[in-house]
């Protein structure tokens, strides 16, 4: 009898636990329209429909590995070579996805930051924890490539040429 009760409790618990995981490769990217720190509006599906592939770096200002990858300038190089002023193939976004950070943290003047994320970054920076939630981000950094067919692939912290 004790085993049956334990089994029933286990089944009940498993059925009532919600597990949130990153979006799987091949998932359709949730669409968004967001405003960057400069006040410019960006619409994901409009970029995809215009022939761009989109790279999104979901990071948090306090994250050491995020800061290290940001300073590797791989995404900066990708944007400059293949972005709107280059071959017009790729658009890059940095989305600060932690709800506990502020705009001051992005500029390096807050108390929850590794440094100034804005200085020298040529691609749009967006502060949006709701977008990170829509993509089920569970660790930082998470770097996605979204192709014109709207499918996601997690590319990780790779070199410019590897992402391209």
Query: What is the spatial distance between Cα 27 and Cα 43, in angstroms, rounded to a whole number?
Result: 18
More confident: 9 or 87: 87
Q: What is the pLDDT of residues 65-84, one digit of tens each?
A: 999 999 999 999 999 999 99
Nearest Cα to 56, choosing from 22, 87, 85, 86? 22
**159 or 8, which is more confident?**
159
Peptide bond into 141 cis (omega under 30): yes
Identify the band that residue 87 occupies on the pLDDT scale cut at 50, 70 and 90. Answer: very high
98: Cβ contacts below 8 Å, ≥ 6 apart = 60, 61, 62, 129, 132, 140
pLDDT (tens digit per residue) in 114-157: 999 999 999 999 999 999 999 999 999 999 999 999 999 999 99
Q: Which residues share a beta bridge with 56?
A: 93, 144
Query: What is the pLDDT, as a whole number, of residue 22?
Result: 82
Instruction: Answer yes or no: are the C-beta atoms of 67 and 114 closer than 8 Å.
Output: yes
Instruction: Answer yes or no: is pLDDT of 10 > 90.
Output: no
What percentage of the chain carries pLDDT values higher than 70? 87
Q: Pick from 71, 44, 95, 81: which is nearest to 163 by CA?
A: 81
Interatomic CA distance for residues 48 and 43, integer angstroms: 9
Note whether 141 and 129 are within 8 A (CB): no
CA distance linking residue 70 with residue 94, whole number of Å? 9
Would the pLDDT of 91 be above 70?
Answer: yes
Which of 144, 58, 72, 145 is CA-nearest to residue 101?
Answer: 58
CB 123 within 8 A of CB 94: yes
> If 0-12 CB within 10 Å is exposed, 13-18 middle and 19+ buried, where does residue 148 land?
middle
């Amino acid at each position: 009898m004790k085993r049956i009760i334990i089994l029933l409790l286990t089944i009940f618990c498993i059925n009532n636990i919600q597990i949130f995981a990153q979006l799987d490769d091949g998932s359709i990217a949730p669409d968004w329209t967001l405003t960057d720190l400069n006040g410019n509006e960006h619409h994901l599906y409009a970029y995809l429909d215009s022939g761009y592939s989109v790279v999104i770096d979901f990071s948090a200002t306090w994250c050491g590995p995020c800061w290290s990858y940001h300073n590797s300038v791989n995404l900066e190089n990708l944007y400059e070579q293949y972005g709107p002023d280059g071959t017009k193939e790729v658009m890059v976004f940095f989305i600060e996805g932690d709800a506990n950070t502020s705009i001051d943290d992005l500029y390096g003047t807050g108390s929850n930051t590794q440094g100034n994320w804005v200085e020298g970054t040529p691609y749009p920076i967006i502060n949006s924890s709701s977008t990170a939630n829509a993509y089920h981000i569970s660790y930082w950094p998470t770097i996605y490539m979204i192709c014109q067919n709207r499918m996601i692939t997690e590319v990780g912290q790779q070199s410019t040429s590897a992402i391209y």
